Amino acid sequence: MSVRSPLRLVLDTNVWLDWLVFDDPSIAPIKAAVETKRAEIFIDAACEAELERALGYDLGKKRTVDIPDCIALCRRVARRIGFPVPEAERAQLPACRDPDDQKFLEAALAARAEFLVTKDRALLDLARRVAHFRIVAPEAFEEADPSRSLS
């Protein structure tokens, strides 16, 4: 019996907010994959900085967010990407029409991720143009997750 390495995931800011603030049921399969060690999440400094900024926004429903607690949980759950991707590799990525989202493509490449999980239309539109990893919405992750057959 072969043991499969955990899937390597990068989450965009909206997916992180769903995890840390909204407890959105669409990310339950991602949480389960992480909790059962079938997946690992990776984040870099640029993505974490955007998450921290987003946690400071008005998130509606008179919701109060403890930013330090959310960032601490993110850091417990995710492994830090400590090195940037060489320019030659970054040049192979398609350009996202939203330049602010390019960092997620670069993080997924640097992490050698199998999946970039996003709700962002600009990133999802690139799904067929990226060869190094799959870009999926949270709702599509469970079906796309090859490790779920091992549970």
User: pLDDT tens digits, residue range 65-105?
Assistant: 899 999 999 999 999 998 888 888 888 888 899 989 999 99
Give which of 62, 24, 67, 63 is closest to 48, Cα–Cα: 67
Q: Which fold has domain 7-146?
A: Rossmann fold (3.40.50)
Q: Where are the domains of the chain?
A: 7-146
Dihedral sign computed on CA atoms, order 27, 30, 32, 35: negative
Q: Residues 6 or more apart from 4 whose CB is under 8 A from it?
A: 38, 146, 147, 150
What is the DSSP secondary-structure string of 50-104? HHHHHHTS--STT----HHHHHHHHHHHEEE--SPPPHHHHTTSPPPSSGGGHHH
Global pTM? 0.90
> Residue 35 and residue 53: Cα distance in Å, rounded?
26
pLDDT value at residue 55:
94
Q: Name the stretches of the chain with pLDDT < 70.
A: 1-3, 62-63, 145-151
